[in-house]
Amino acid sequence: MPRILLFSGKGGVGKTTIAAATGLAAASTGRRVLVLSLDLAHSLSDAFGLERSLFDHGEGRPTPINENLEIQEIDVQQEVEHRWHDSGNVFSLLLAATGIQDAMAEDLVLMPGMEDLITLLYLNQHAGEDNYDLIVIDCPPTGDSLRFISMPKTLEWYVRKRYGVTPGHDSEIRSDAMAGGLVDMYRGLAGVDALLQDPAQTSVRLVSAPERMVVRETQRAFMYFSLYGLVTDRIIVNRILPEAAGLSSWRRTQAAVIREMEELFAPVPISKIPFYGEEMVGVERLNELAKNLYGSSDPAAPGPSRPPFQLEVDRGRPVITVPVPFTSRSDLTLHREDRHVIVRIGSFKRHLPLPRELVHAPVKSAKIQDGVLRILFEIPDKTRESDQVTPK
Ligand SMILES: Nc1ncnc2c1ncn2[C@@H]1O[C@H](COP(=O)(O)OP(=O)(O)OP(=O)(O)O)[C@@H](O)[C@H]1O
Ligand SMILES: [Mg+2]
DSSP code per residue over 152-211 = HHHHHHHHHHHHSS-TTS-GGGTTSHHHHHHHHHHHHHTTHHHHHH-TTTEEEEEEE-SS
Q: What is the pLDDT of residues 207-253, one digit of tens each?
A: 999 999 999 889 888 888 888 888 999 999 999 999 888 888 999 99
How close are the terminal C-alpha atoms of the chain, in Å?
A: 41
pLDDT, position 391? 54
CA of 17 to the centre of ligand 1 (A): 6
The alpha carbon of residue 158 and the mean position of all alpha carbons in its chain are separated, in whole angstroms, by: 20
- Residue 147 scores a pLDDT above 90: no
**Mean pLDDT of all residues belonging to the chain:** 81
Calculate how far, in angstroms, residue 372's C-alpha sits from the geometric centre of ligand 1.
Answer: 33
Per-residue pLDDT, averaged over 104-121, amounts to: 60
pLDDT at 170 over 80: no
pTM value is: 0.82
| Position 305 confidence tier, pLDDT thresholds 50, 70, 90 | confident
pLDDT tens for each residue of 278-298 = 999 999 999 999 999 999 999
Cα 371 from chain centre: 20
User: Between these two residues, 91 and 216, which has the higher pLDDT value?
Assistant: 216
Instruction: For residue 17, report the distance from its CA to the centre of ligand 2, in Å.
Output: 7
CA–CA gap between residue 317 and residue 305 (Å, rounded): 26
**pLDDT (mean) for 61-73:** 93
For the chain, the residue count is 392
Domains in the chain (CATH in brackets) are 3-294 (3.40.50.300), 310-389 (2.60.40.790)
- Cβ–ligand 1 distance for 293 under 6 Å, the answer no
Question: What pLDDT is stored for residue 325 in this prediction?
Answer: 85
175-179 mean pLDDT: 53
Determine if ligand 1 sits within 6 Å of the CB of residue 39: yes
- 384 Cα–ligand 2 center, Å: 50
45 lines ligand 1 (CB under 6 A): no
CA distances from 8 to 130, 212, 283, 328, 352 (A): 24, 17, 21, 24, 23
Q: Is the CB of 22 under 6 A from ligand 1?
A: no
If you ran DSSP here, which 8-state letter would residue 356 be given? Answer: G
Q: Which of 8, 17, 238 maximizes ligand 1 atoms within 8 Å of its Cβ, making it the mutation to test the pocket?
A: 17
Chain CA centroid to CA 189, Å? 15
